[in-house]
Amino acid sequence: MRQMPLLLCVVLTAVGCSASPPGPPPPPPAAPADADADAAAAAPSPATTPAAAAATPDVVRPAADGSATLQVGQVLEIALEGNASTGYGWEIVEDGAPMLQRATLPPPAPAPPGDKAGPRLVGSPSVSRWHFQATTPGEARLRLVYRRAWEKDVAPAREAAFKVVVQPAG
């Protein structure tokens, strides 16, 4: 009787191994046969071309006291450290409208080969970035809070406020 569980395990293992489909794994997806597709894949992305670099607006970062002065057309970059693995995240509660408008910039260039930064560790802090383009002269306030999304009746763990002055383009 004591050998029955062992025999059952051996039989189930043999059945499981024989149940796998025969044959080689499926081939990888085919590469595009179109010459134009190959040329497009080899061409630099628009964000890396000199013309795109010239079209990217000036990026301004706030001073240590949270103030910033921009001209219409410039972009304000807010960079805040956080750790999403703790459940906390930054949330925009005042967006600076109508003087500021959320903007999307091209992604940064990849790190050069041999960069010592290496991959981030799971659970390590990271930096979140937001971009706002100055659209109308005036004063604006940006405010972000660092909290857990499900904790609505709890004060934020951190807060970041920025006073922004937008001047006419000149």
Distance set, CA 149 to CA 86, 129, 146 (Å): 11, 18, 9
Domain 57-106+125-170 class, CATH top level? mainly beta
Q: How many angstroms separate the CA atoms of 161 and 138, rounded?
A: 17
* pLDDT confidence of residue 134: 96
Q: b/e per residue, 11-26, with b = 16+ CB within 10 A?
A: eeeeeeeeeeeeeeee
* pLDDT confidence of residue 167: 96
Q: Tokens 């002269």 appear where?
A: 137
Give CA torsion, residues 127, 133, 134, 135, to 10 deg.
-150
Q: Tokens 């041999």 appear where?
A: 114
Low-confidence ranges of the chain (pLDDT < 70): 1-57, 111, 114-119
Q: How many angstroms separate the CA atoms of 94 and 71, rounded?
A: 20
* pLDDT confidence of residue 109: 73
